[in-house]
Structure 1
Amino acid sequence: MKKSNKHYKTPKWSKHNAGKTPPIEPQAGSWPLHFFKRNWSNQFTNLDGELVSFKIRNPKLIDFEKELIAVQNTQQNLTDEQREIAKYYGFGPPTKQWTPVIDRLIDTYNVSPVRAARILAATQAAINDALLITWQLKYVFDIARPDQLDPTLETVVPTPNFPAYPSGHATMSGCAEVVLSYFFPGERVRLREIAEQGAMSRLYGCIHFPIDNSEGLRLGRQIGDYIVKELKKAVDVTETLVDTPYKENKEAVLPPPPWEQAIPYPPPNSQPNMRNSFFFF
């Protein structure tokens, strides 16, 4: 089916947020990256200085009124499991859910200490870059949240205090999926399931439009592909490739389920005021 080129008016997050609580980290899109650089015109390049082109749908081509209807329909038909998924991924930053996945893979495959350090460092550095690229796009696109367009919409988790498009959870999940699939190709199918579930959780939470999540996953996987190209270049002093991916599928038992945090959130002794609290992504 051919995509429509019709232009729509984009709902501005900054307009709806005017005069409210200061936005979260609006300058994060300019923070240092690990696997990318920025050129003189603030375009992304790889480490060799070659221009990197990320494909993401122009929000002016997105019908956000239609997207809002999808969120409203989702909210009205949520299952108990979908609510649990929304809460599992919704409280705490997305690294909270992916770090136990990385640790479980390292344990399952009996990874050596130095390789474990490399896998952790590479994946978390990739997550850093995915989120900072997302943050730049969020504040450039400046797209409102579902409950800003429909104040009667009841969200499952609190709405974060920054623009919606693309979803940080989805972008980060897509990137982590690709990078971890490079190190553990046998677990590729399960990692994809986790990434897609993490993205969908934002719709179940009613704080993101469907397009935020699908385009976020798409963007994250592109970022991950570029990062894997860089990782594959690494050699030791003998010019031997550093990485030896674990091709065997040991069917690691990766969370979730159960829908319980590896580390409770919020901390056991805290009693947050939900009305005034903001949770990432």
Structure 2
Amino acid sequence: MKRMLFIYVWLVLSVSAKAEVATKDLSQHLQPTVFAVTMVMIHDVVNPPAASRFYTYCLLGAHEIVARHQQTVVSPTTFIRSLGQTNLETARADNYQIAALYCILETGRLILPSGYMLEDEEKKLLDQLRAEKYPEPIIQQSVGVAQEMAKKVLAYAAADNYRNLSARTRYRPSKADGFWYPTPPAYIEAIEPHWRIIRPMMIDSCSQFRPKPPVAFSKDTTSEFHKLAQEVYQIGNKLTDEQRFIASYWDCNPFAVNTSGHMSIGFKKISPGGHWMNITSLAATKAKLSFDNALMVQSLVAMTLMDAFISCWDEKYRSSRIRPETVINRYINVRWQPLLQTPPFPEYTSGHSVISTAVAELLTYLMGDNFSFTDNTEVIFELPERRFTSFRQAASEAAISRLYGGIHYRDAIENGQDQGRAIGEFVIERLKKAGIKPIF
């Protein structure tokens, strides 16, 4: 009788333990999983617009998996027009959080140029789950669901015109006055000149949020344009230590090249979107968001980044405005150099201003206007942590950093902020209609 009682108690405790493990929140695994994708993109020197696209698709399937298991999470099919008729049906996962985590890595493995590097991350994740006593059948079934979803996301991504970029007519910069032209030291060709054809996620079209026209180029020393160029020149000549640090902190230039004589050395850095993805992870951790909410916020930020880059790049190659470095070297001081290396694409509008402001508006809606946080994103690049009192403060600093860095005129920054704010407000209204409310 005692033996039977012992077996009964053991069975009850065993079933209870398995149930507890199966329902345990896996939030602690989300940030490392997304950051693993970031590290592969740094390795591949993925350009900023493309990085936003990769983040979006890596998180899209995971978002949908969570939404299919939790009614509190709104499915992306409700606010992404092009996704409405797409078949993302999959089997229910024994553990949807495992499936979502693995889906992020599996999608990255399939879509990134060096995606094979994520195979080790997949193995590491599964080993960690086994160490946490997750039963093997649950792990394997959840992995199967993730793999199926990743393939469906890749099929959806294949129709967004990305494959058509290489078939477009090669971009040839104009040599006429006032137009962008490759800059030193590497004189890299224009990055993603046809990005406007990429299918957006939430905005209606690439030109929906067309900003004010830039101040017209002029050689006249009394012109408004000359005043803009002089401001960049003068500020660059008398930067404070704080301004230098702010410019370096938000540099986020994957194309940095240092030259010494005939030798050129490339330095790999995080993209601007990658910086904001990590800020989102840090904020979710500080707010102690559940796995479901944290993943949804990451996904929404990625989509907003993607749309903001599409909008910004549409304007960049419409106006194709000349960079301050080129203007100053031609008309003011041939020896002048900006603090930061000029990125290889036209100047107007400022990408940092557009994408940072758009994301800050979204995060402010979801997590509050006075959400303070400490950003450690740049620590791996040997820069210290930086504390911000709000997402908008961080976005404002990211925007003005481009003036300190000598790579943008003031109107590109301020009009870029207006453009980003309009995108952010549109995204928020779209999410409100889909039933997404503030979560913190």
- When normalised by structure 1's length, the TM-score is 0.72
User: In structure 2, what is the equivalent of residue 132 of structure 1?
Assistant: 310
- Shift of residue 75 of structure 1? 0.7
Structure 1 stretches of 4+ with a deviation exceeding 3 A read 14-17
Contact 1:10 1:59 in 2 (8 A): no
- Shift of residue 37 of structure 1? 2.7
SS at structure 1 position matched to 2:288:
coil
User: In structure 2, what is the equivalent of residue 243 of structure 1?
Assistant: 437
Contact 2:201 2:307 in 1 (8 A): yes
The structure 1 residue matched to 2:189, chosen from 22, 25, 36, is: 22
Question: Whole-Å Cα distance in 1 between the matches of residues 280 and 414 of structure 2?
Answer: 23
Contact 1:142 1:165 in 2 (8 A): yes
Report matched runs for 1:118-267 at 5 Å: 118-151=296-329, 152-187=335-370, 190-234=390-434, 241-246=435-440
One-letter amino acid matched to 1:210: R
Question: Whole-Å Cα distance in 2 between the matches of residues 84 and 165 of structure 1?
Answer: 24
Question: Whole-Å Cα distance in 1 between the matches of residues 398 and 182 of structure 2?
Answer: 28
Contact 2:193 2:317 in 1 (8 A): yes
User: In structure 1, what is the equivalent of residue 202 of structure 2?
Assistant: 35
Alignment of 1:67 with 2:228, yes or no, is yes
Deviation string 1:72-100 (CA, Å, 9 cap, x unpaired) is 11111101121111111113321232122
| Identical aligned residues as a percent | 27
Alignment of 1:110 with 2:288, yes or no, is yes
Contact 1:35 1:129 in 2 (8 A): yes
Deviation string 1:153-175 (CA, Å, 9 cap, x unpaired) is 21111111110000001100110
RMSD (CA atoms): 2.2
- Shift of residue 242 of structure 1? 4.0
Q: Which is bigger in relative contact order (C-alpha 8 A, separation at least 6)?
A: 1
* Larger helix share, 1 or 2: 2
SS at structure 1 position matched to 2:433:
coil
- Shift of residue 186 of structure 1? 3.9
Contact 2:323 2:407 in 1 (8 A): yes
Residues 132-141 or 108-117, more deviating: 108-117
Report matched runs for 1:4-23 at 5 Å: 11-14=178-181, 21-23=188-190
- Shift of residue 26 of structure 1? 0.4
User: In structure 2, what is the equivalent of residue 77 of structure 1?
Assistant: 238
Question: Whole-Å Cα distance in 2 between the matches of residues 15 and 154 of structure 1?
Answer: 14
- Shift of residue 101 of structure 1? 1.6
Question: Whole-Å Cα distance in 2 between the matches of residues 64 and 10 of structure 1?
Answer: 13
User: In structure 1, what is the equivalent of residue 169 of structure 2?
Assistant: none
Gaps of 5+ in 1: 1-8, 45-53, 235-240, 247-281
Question: Whole-Å Cα distance in 2 between the matches of residues 66 and 155 of structure 1?
Answer: 17
SS at structure 1 position matched to 2:390:
helix
Question: Who wins on radius of gyration, i.e. which is larger?
Answer: 2
Gaps of 5+ in 2: 1-175, 218-223, 253-269, 330-334, 372-388
Aligned residues: 218
Contact 2:214 2:411 in 1 (8 A): no
- When normalised by structure 2's length, the TM-score is 0.47
Contact 2:216 2:225 in 1 (8 A): no
SS at structure 2 position matched to 1:13:
coil
